[in-house]
Structure 1
Amino acid sequence: MSKNKFIILVVLMSLSLIGIICLQAYYINNSINSFENQFNFSVKKSIGYTIQNIEKKEKLNSIIKINQLINDGGKIDTTAIINFYIKEDNKNTNKTLLYRNGILEENFKLSSALFDIGLDTINVKRIINNRETKVLNNSSAQDVDLVDIVNEISTLSEREQILWESFYMDYAFRTPIYKRTTNEEIRELLETKLKAEDIDLDFEFAIYSNNLATKISSEDFQIENNDTFSLPIFDNENDDNNYRLLVNFPKRERYMFSSIYSNLLLSILFTGIIILAFSSALLQLIRQRQISEIKSDFINNMTHEFKTPIATINLALDSIRNPRIIDDKEKVLRYLGMIKEENKRMHAQVENVLRISKLEKNELNISKERIKLHDLLQEAINHVELMVEDRNGEIITNFDAIKSTVLANESHFTNVLVNVLENGIKYTPEDKPLKIEVSTHLAGSSILIDIKDHGAGMTKQVQKKVFEKFYREHTGNVHNVKGHGLGLAYVKQIVEDHHGNISVTSTKGVGSTFTIKLPLIS
């Protein structure tokens, strides 16, 4: 896949994922808003129901009270059709409230001549509503006998309805709020209606007068400006108290989210799965692209590695077939030796690939035995000694570890040490002196092997990937240093199989130090 197609694919997938997340967020937000609107409507409906019932009950109680007074005695006044007198003594203030409300009906017979409408007489009825409220000091107030002045009412006519309403409006608002309703009454009505609306949630309430608290309030009520519901109660055009019933729900937010918790959880779960799948797919695409590039480099390197020995073998065979050389035993043996060496070189390359494959499949049989690690190090140094001499270099050893006995496979661990040493030789430029330092020292119950070179070094980014299979640092020419990116991957696998670990510290242009840590045995 080309780079442009890869970028377009990643962008399209990212936009699709963002779109899905935004769509999920949009629907969740709509669900929350819809539920909140329904909740607000139901709560206001419940508060309205409570207020209506409380006001109806107060009116009914007032009518019952007045009827009781009427039934207790009194005569009908034929002039004032209905007259009510209410006397209320307040011992605390030493004052008396005297309230009078009456409806006077007057019938008139007028001559039609006054109106010139062709009739002898016209009957005109006039109804006058007369109300009066007096507050008297008890010292000067005269005794008023309610039984003597309250008139009996048998039925409530239209006129009488006007009377009752006006009486209630003028009289009730003077009654203290705590005598007009109770906390228990408000709580019971609210709970009943809220449950009928499927809202089972704790609430707090209070009645405020002109934004000041009254005695009607639940214990933990606090005004929350954004979440407090407020509706007028005992509304009266003559009343300057401006009573309002306030209700709030301390656990409202939790209740809101609990109602959509399952949907929200599923949305988050599925969105998370989509994000995880997308991230995984994206990483796989990036990984596959990297593997594709690594594979191309590997094929190029392997081709180069095999091309030279194959060409050498072909030249040697052509030379042997030459009639002038085939009879020269010395030259034939020389060419046969070249063929054998090149064949061994190709075989070693194939073995590296097979070893890595078997390690990954856990098919490589690695038997371990007690071995002196210093002896293995010396053997590995002897193996690369000719290569070092050819470069006029040197290997400096400093074996400080008093103990060096480990449990290891001689063959494989020797290959590990040889690979690391060869790596230092290969990556030391020709124009720099070849110098490799090998040292050991103890660290608790482990032994540390440091193999330090003064070669090209590595960047931080390369150090993170240097032990990955097939990875090789790009230098502009993949054939500058022979190899196929399997050596250090093989080293890491073998070291970890020996319950150890390997790390590298390096500075670009200065050199690298590979540190192998292995557990000691007694």
Structure 2
Amino acid sequence: MRKSTIWLLAVVMAFAFAGLLYLQVNYVSIILKTRSEQFNETVKRSLRQVSKNLELDETRKYLEDDINRDETNFMYQNAPDAQSLGQVINHEKYQLQIKDSNGTVQQIEMQSFSAHKFEPLSSLSKRQSANSIVNTSKDLQKTLKRRYQYQGGLIEEVIYNILYTANLKPIEERIDFKKLNNYLKTEFINNGLNLPFVFSVINKDGNVVYQSGEFQKQPIASDVITQVLFPNDPPSKLNYLRVYFPTKGDYISSSITFIVPSVIFSLILLITFVFTIYIVFRQKKLSEMKNDFINNMTHELKTPVSTISLAAQMLKDSDITKSPDVFKHISGVINDETKRLSFLVEKVLQMSLFERQKAALKLKEIDANDLVANVANTFVLKVEKYGGTMDIDLQATESDIYVDEMHITNVLFNLMDNAVKYRRPEVPLTLMARTWNENGKLLISVEDNGIGIKKEYLKKVFDRFFRVPTGNVHDVKGFGLGLAYVRKIIEDHKGTIRAESGTGNIGTKFIITLPLIKS
């Protein structure tokens, strides 16, 4: 698959996911906004009803007080002369019902007092006449007329008191805050808002005269809902009720819990998408590296094969066989090229090793100090050939490990061979092999003063087919398999390996950590 096709696929998938994400975010935003508006409208409706209830309470109070007071005064002002006649006072109670526009019925308890004189039976019998019934009827009509006039004046007086007298009182004298709290609870519950709330009453001067509780934090202005108390008061004397719901955010958020599974699946889709694109690009890069490896390997194989073929043809010449020196030289060339060819075949076999999840290891107990010393001694001549020195520092007091001797030997050979291969020509090579114990484990390091590795490549050097620098450049030594092989073998032995580079990218140090037998 071409890289442009992969990028096109990635862009299309990214665009599709971005569109899906936008739709979900927009949908959630609309739901939250709608729920918030519904919440605020419900609270405002409840507060308007509470304000109306408070007005009805105040009206009922004025009616009860005025009716009771005026009825008593009326009774005494119209009572008969008690000196000549006895008195009878009738006290009656009755209910006055007031229905508002919402159909709410408020009941007011009324008391009626009436008085009339009576005479002893003996006196009554003396004064009875034919005109007594007519006089009594006229008195009753006058009394009823006065009562209707009184009731009309009473209503006017109550309205006057409410409009012009009540607002002169402080708001704390007009409201029972405990009753206000009960009204709020009742209305909120009736409207489906069984939530904790805090309310405060603000007087006409803007001062808080009552607050039901402390705000846990400074609320946002839009979260505090305000309602005018007694809206019929003059504008300059209006009082306000403010209500705040601390858990409003949780209440509104609970309405979108149904979208949580959708968000989870979207995240899974995003992770899958990113991982898929990563795998595709990684496989693409791996494919390019493998092609690079094949190209380089083909080039490397041609040389020894051509050399051996040419040497074989020369050996067919009878003149060559007659000259021992020439024959010996040609045999040596064939031997060297055969070893080189064997080395290349070994690299191909190493490549096939990566196709298996775990190498087949033949584990046995080995002294790591002896193993490191043997490999280092093998490289002494090769290092000295380039005017370098080989140092061995075996500090490990506990060096028994359970490993595959052949593979661990190959690991050390790879590291030391890289030190020789990537030396600096103008500087004598210095190579050190060292062992020591740390945290109950064995550590082996191979350190050189070669060209080093740039910081950004330190972790990549263990990847298959990776070379510094990368690319299809034939003059770069190696095939990018050696360090990948090293890491795989060490990890199969339950160990770790890391690379460090000196200051100025001079010198490289590989540190291997392996478990001891006792571990």
> What is the TM-score with the length of structure 1 in the denominator?
0.72
Q: Is residue 2:231 matched to residue 1:231?
A: no
Aligned partner of 2:238 in structure 1 is: 242
Aligned partner of 1:145 in structure 2 is: none
Q: Report 1:106-505 matches (<5 A).
A: 152-153=147-148, 164-174=158-168, 177-213=171-207, 217-220=211-214, 225-237=221-233, 241-263=237-259, 265-266=260-261, 268-321=263-316, 342-343=337-338, 345-355=340-350, 357-358=352-353, 361-384=356-379, 387-388=382-383, 391=386, 393-401=388-396, 404-430=399-425, 432-443=427-438, 445-474=440-469, 478-505=473-500
Q: What is the rounded CA distance, in whole Å, between the counterparts of 2:245 and 2:32 in structure 1?
A: 17
Shift of 1:500: 3.2
Shift of 1:439: 3.4
Q: Residue type matched to 2:392 in 1?
A: T
Q: What is the rounded CA distance, in whole Å, between the counterparts of 1:520 and 1:239 in structure 2?
A: 90
Shift of 1:343: 4.8
Aligned partner of 1:49 in structure 2 is: 49
Q: What is the rounded CA distance, in whole Å, between the counterparts of 2:214 and 2:408 in structure 1?
A: 76
Q: Residue type matched to 2:28 in 1?
A: I
Q: What is the rounded CA distance, in whole Å, between the counterparts of 2:161 and 2:472 in structure 1?
A: 107
Q: What is the rounded CA distance, in whole Å, between the counterparts of 2:304 and 2:262 in structure 1?
A: 62
Q: How many residues align?
A: 449
- After superposition, the C-alpha distances for 1:286-338 in whole angstroms (9 at most, x for unaligned) are 32333233223222222223222222233234334557668999978976775
Aligned partner of 1:29 in structure 2 is: 29
Shift of 1:481: 4.7
The answer to whether the Cα contact below 8 Å between 1:399 and 1:439 also exists between their aligned partners in 2 is yes
The answer to whether the Cα contact below 8 Å between 1:392 and 1:434 also exists between their aligned partners in 2 is yes
Shift of 1:51: 0.9
Q: What is the rounded CA distance, in whole Å, between the counterparts of 1:204 and 1:179 in structure 2?
A: 21
TM-align CA RMSD: 4.0
Secondary structure (helix, strand or coil) at the match of 1:395 reads: strand
The answer to whether the Cα contact below 8 Å between 1:453 and 1:511 also exists between their aligned partners in 2 is yes
Secondary structure (helix, strand or coil) at the match of 2:392 reads: strand
Q: Which has the higher helix share?
A: 2
The answer to whether the Cα contact below 8 Å between 1:177 and 1:216 also exists between their aligned partners in 2 is no
Q: What is the rounded CA distance, in whole Å, between the counterparts of 1:11 and 1:457 in structure 2?
A: 38
Secondary structure (helix, strand or coil) at the match of 2:295 reads: helix
Aligned partner of 1:140 in structure 2 is: none
Q: Report 1:83-102 matches (<5 A).
A: none
Shift of 1:66: 3.6
Q: What is the rounded CA distance, in whole Å, between the counterparts of 1:187 and 1:279 in structure 2?
A: 55
- After superposition, the C-alpha distances for 1:70-109 in whole angstroms (9 at most, x for unaligned) are 55573899xxxxxxxxxxxxxxxxxxxxxxxxxxxxxxxx
The answer to whether the Cα contact below 8 Å between 1:75 and 1:152 also exists between their aligned partners in 2 is no
The 3 A distance-change label for structure 1 pair 392 and 319 is: farther
The 3 A distance-change label for structure 1 pair 37 and 71 is: same
Secondary structure (helix, strand or coil) at the match of 2:513 reads: strand
Shift of 1:415: 1.1
Q: What is the rounded CA distance, in whole Å, between the counterparts of 2:398 and 2:184 in structure 1?
A: 85
- After superposition, the C-alpha distances for 1:151-194 in whole angstroms (9 at most, x for unaligned) are 6238977x986565335423433555445432232222222222
Aligned partner of 1:114 in structure 2 is: none
Q: Residue type matched to 2:34 in 1?
A: S
Q: What is the rounded CA distance, in whole Å, between the counterparts of 2:383 and 2:213 in structure 1?
A: 91
- After superposition, the C-alpha distances for 1:374-404 in whole angstroms (9 at most, x for unaligned) are 3323432454456446545543434444554
**Structure 1: which 5+ runs fail to align?**
78-147
Q: Residue type matched to 1:306 in 2?
A: L
Q: Residue type matched to 2:448 in 1?
A: D
The answer to whether the Cα contact below 8 Å between 1:173 and 1:239 also exists between their aligned partners in 2 is no
Q: What is the rounded CA distance, in whole Å, between the counterparts of 1:308 and 1:174 in structure 2?
A: 113
Q: What is the rounded CA distance, in whole Å, between the counterparts of 1:17 and 1:511 in structure 2?
A: 47
Q: What is the rounded CA distance, in whole Å, between the counterparts of 1:419 and 1:483 in structure 2?
A: 11
Q: Report 1:68-83 matches (<5 A).
A: 68-69=68-69, 71-72=71-72, 74=74
Q: What is the rounded CA distance, in whole Å, between the counterparts of 2:430 and 2:171 in structure 1?
A: 100
Secondary structure (helix, strand or coil) at the match of 1:365 reads: coil
The answer to whether the Cα contact below 8 Å between 1:457 and 1:510 also exists between their aligned partners in 2 is yes
> What is the TM-score with the length of structure 2 in the denominator?
0.72
- Over the matched positions of the two proteins, sequence identity in percent amounts to 32
Q: What is the rounded CA distance, in whole Å, between the counterparts of 1:173 and 1:152 in structure 2?
A: 30
**Structure 2: which 5+ runs fail to align?**
78-142
Secondary structure (helix, strand or coil) at the match of 1:173 reads: helix
Shift of 1:509: 6.2
Q: What is the rounded CA distance, in whole Å, between the counterparts of 1:190 and 1:230 in structure 2?
A: 13
Q: What is the rounded CA distance, in whole Å, between the counterparts of 1:402 and 1:228 in structure 2?
A: 74
Q: Residue type matched to 2:167 in 1?
A: F
The 3 A distance-change label for structure 1 pair 448 and 386 is: same
Shift of 1:45: 0.5
Q: Residue type matched to 1:29 in 2?
A: S
Q: What is the rounded CA distance, in whole Å, between the counterparts of 2:232 and 2:26 in structure 1?
A: 45
The answer to whether the Cα contact below 8 Å between 2:388 and 2:428 also exists between their aligned partners in 1 is yes
The 3 A distance-change label for structure 1 pair 364 and 74 is: closer
The answer to whether the Cα contact below 8 Å between 2:200 and 2:212 also exists between their aligned partners in 1 is yes
The answer to whether the Cα contact below 8 Å between 2:63 and 2:158 also exists between their aligned partners in 1 is yes
The 3 A distance-change label for structure 1 pair 510 and 175 is: closer
